[in-house]
Amino acid sequence: MNIKQEILKAFHANPGRFISGEELSQTCGCSRTAVWKHIEELRQEGYEVEAVRKAGYRLLAAPDRLSAEAIIAGLDTKRIGQHVQAYDTVVSTQPLAHEAAAKGAPEGTLVIAEQQTGGKGRLGRAWHSPKGTGIWMSLIVRPVIPLPKTPQMTLLTAVAVAKTMQKETGVAVKIKWPNDIFVGDRKVCGVLTELNAEADRVNYLVIGIGINANAVAADFPEELRAIATSLRIESGTTVNRVRFIQRFCRIFEAEYDHYLQHGFDRIKTEWEACSYTIGRWVTVKTIHSTLEGRAVGLDEEGVLIVEDAAGARHKVYSADVNYGANE
- Quick: pLDDT tens for 145-178: 999 999 999 999 999 999 999 999 999 999 998 8
Torsion of CA 279, 282, 285, 289, to 10 degrees: 90
- Quick: pLDDT tens for 204-253: 999 999 999 999 988 888 888 889 999 999 999 999 999 999 999 999 99
**Rounded CA gap, 317 and 306, in Å?**
11
| Number of residues in the chain | 327
Domains along the chain with CATH numbers: 3-61 (1.10.10.10), 68-273 (3.30.930.10), 281-323 (2.30.30.100)
**Rounded CA gap, 285 and 321, in Å?**
6
Q: Which amino acid appears at position 181 of this protein?
A: I
Looking at the DSSP assignment, which residues form a beta bridge with residue 189? 181, 211
What pLDDT tens digit does each residue of the chain (327 aa) get? 588 888 888 887 888 889 998 998 888 889 889 889 999 988 988 888 888 888 889 988 887 788 898 899 889 999 999 999 999 999 999 999 999 999 999 999 999 999 988 766 554 555 566 677 899 999 999 999 999 999 999 999 999 999 999 999 999 999 998 889 999 999 999 999 999 999 889 999 999 999 999 999 888 888 888 899 999 999 999 999 999 999 999 999 999 999 999 999 999 999 999 999 999 999 998 888 899 999 999 999 999 999 999 999 999 988 888 887 544
**Rounded CA gap, 223 and 100, in Å?**
35
Looking at the DSSP assignment, which residues form a beta bridge with residue 210? 136, 190
